[in-house]
Structure 1
């Protein structure tokens, strides 16, 4: 039986020009993050299935690719639970592996610890445009600092990284999980109902208020009066960019002073940043973030040409404690790398040289010329001349080469042959 050569559904092959664009984006982002003191780490693709199912991964826990235990026979006993057959799973994000990494290596790490990750993750998504089963995430995390420095630094570094790759016109959306909890309590919801409330509210941008109300009241059984009170407060706070702290304290009287103070500090720092590098932001009371591990400020970055956020993150002070046995403050920001690559303007053209040599030219001459060009930092490829020269030059130009050297018999050692541009002016 012939095997289909297409990549598995929900995955894709990347051709060289596409990989070059991704390398360009990653390079710019890495430069920015390194300037802020974030250092690259790597973690395994596989994690213990119990860790991945820890109850804080939100809807993503339903999308885990599970891996069968080694040593299973060809057949298993009927009625055996799936949980008895698996012990590992592919990571669905980079935060869960980071937490394990920190718990395992904290004695050798500085405090605070600034981590930078770029790696593939896997989710058993229903394949559709813009959603893949394997995709890359690009994260920075600051572990060990309980102050608002973490939130502000992450926002500043990430918006600067987006600027560096040419992504402009973005808006930072800011909220706080503690505000949402206080709002739920203010509306009369019991703490046991908060999780369902968060899940329903998180769908607001997809199904609107009528859909959210139907889900919360009819499906989850929450009091209609509470849902209506939540809507009233949220609509009064939507789009705020000034006097956020004062307005929040008035709208949700039971909101802790610490939450108001933290948000006021973040807002003040963003205002200071805006005076040196333009940054657009707003308080978004509907922002939830799907992961259950967030404990404080949360944020996303939206772009008018993307239907989903291009970055998101927040504070997760209790997640590390599940692995380490003591709570450690932590905050992270994840870039939607695939969406960013789709949004970037044209990638700068590379400067690539082809060294073409005829059959009667010694290979050593071609290699010597290429060696000299590479020593000057030039991307150089050695190729035999084949077919008609104009056709070969057209192929090279289509492949992204910008110039060529043509070595022919009698051209001595080839080091003095001039470079010629590809295109109409470069034809022999």
Structure 2
């Protein structure tokens, strides 16, 4: 968990403002949910490994004896927990407030989440997630809206050139079934497949054999991974999707994926290269995904900048009927470090350095004059013995200029000089 100095906080808020503005431009409405959810809801078996990383809250009123007696059962000690993502709270929110929401609900959720990660570089126990979700639409239009809004958002942040890798959990399950993997061994097989980019086909085959997966299925899968392939200029289309899957893939799945690509391309006619890439081995680890899944990539980094997918079964856990749902989460902590400082964001932030004897009314008059002019932000500072140190600190805080004022100086006569 981290503290943020003023310049860092201002930078984060500028990025969040762009994200909110672009999401709202695409028809999404922001909601807010509590940071605390019921323990049983957070441990309902839909959060994958994140459930193991959740922070639990001790029941109120427990004495030492009760804690000792219940030590072997965490659920007996805790009835609440900090949210580890924003999707589980959204499902509960929708079930609770459904009567006041439209039939197709487009939600923005931006806020902190908590996971008990081991301290290491790039792993935080508290971090911000930026989610958009569409509830009540089972068509590919919902996925296309999410992808289009997310690509538009990173473009607005100056990260043009992003692409989205797409797969479908149903296609993945069909592929594993076609090779001969049993239903019981598929969860472990998916964990190994998810490492394909890191360990390669040989590493995947070796690990599957170590898992004692069905030998004939491993052989067939290994042969498929090592089959000769020709490069395609267009990474997403019916021809490319069929070539990426074993023969006999269900036509309805192919049609769904193709339709999604056509919708996104139509929405971004000036984007240049197709923004989608079909990846038959994209897994996404969350246990609640039921259909289309996707990850956001950018050529400047090797890791993903976000992702999501369809989770049609989750809301049904809280209602007596199933409700389709799909979401996309931008990795805010990863993106904020990539966004370049823009001149428009930092312009006209002025430190007004004054002598000790300048009367307060004069100071406020000068400050008001600057704010009525081009200054978006003015901070008053008494002149110290070491002016250079003050100006250095002000520049680090995001200020771009300074002016000095003496007693009796007329308003409008200040000379603003650049910092740095």
* Same topology, TM > 0.5: yes
Q: Bigger CA drift: 244-253 or 150-159?
A: 244-253
The answer to whether the Cα contact below 8 Å between 1:24 and 1:347 also exists between their aligned partners in 2 is: no
The answer to whether the Cα contact below 8 Å between 2:113 and 2:128 also exists between their aligned partners in 1 is: yes
Aligned residues: 411
Residue number among 331, 346, 349 corresponding to 1:352 in the alignment: 349
1:152 aligns with 2:144: yes
Distance in 1 of aligned mates of 2:30 and 2:236: 38
SS in 2 for 1:255: coil
SS in 1 for 2:411: coil
SS in 1 for 2:68: coil
Q: CA RMSD in A?
A: 2.4
Match of 1:3 in 2: none
Distance in 2 of aligned mates of 1:155 and 1:214: 35
Match of 1:267 in 2: 261
Distance in 2 of aligned mates of 1:344 and 1:225: 48
Quote the offset at 1:280 in angstroms: 3.3
Distance in 2 of aligned mates of 1:259 and 1:151: 14
Tell me the TM-score normalised to structure 2 length: 0.90
Match of 1:339 in 2: 334
Tell me the TM-score normalised to structure 1 length: 0.88
- Relative distance call for 1:392 and 1:49 in structure 2 (3 A) is closer
Residue number among 292, 297, 304 corresponding to 2:287 in the alignment: 292
Distance in 2 of aligned mates of 1:415 and 1:300: 55
- Relative distance call for 1:372 and 1:228 in structure 2 (3 A) is farther
- Relative distance call for 1:204 and 1:116 in structure 2 (3 A) is same
SS in 2 for 1:152: helix
The answer to whether the Cα contact below 8 Å between 1:138 and 1:337 also exists between their aligned partners in 2 is: yes
Distance in 2 of aligned mates of 1:268 and 1:243: 9
Distance in 2 of aligned mates of 1:242 and 1:206: 21
Distance in 1 of aligned mates of 2:387 and 2:190: 65
Distance in 2 of aligned mates of 1:16 and 1:321: 43
- Relative distance call for 1:38 and 1:360 in structure 2 (3 A) is same
- Relative distance call for 1:288 and 1:153 in structure 2 (3 A) is same
SS in 2 for 1:318: coil
Match of 1:118 in 2: 110
Distance in 1 of aligned mates of 2:385 and 2:231: 63
TM-superposition CA deviations, 1:335-391 (whole Å, max 9, x none): 111111122223433421122322222112212332343355621112222225455
1:422 aligns with 2:418: yes
SS in 2 for 1:382: strand
1:55 aligns with 2:45: yes
SS in 2 for 1:77: helix
- Relative distance call for 1:350 and 1:235 in structure 2 (3 A) is farther
The answer to whether the Cα contact below 8 Å between 2:402 and 2:419 also exists between their aligned partners in 1 is: no
Match of 2:61 in 1: 71
Please list every run of 5 or more consecutive structure 2 residues that lacks an aligned counterpart in the other structure. Answer: none
The answer to whether the Cα contact below 8 Å between 1:350 and 1:400 also exists between their aligned partners in 2 is: no
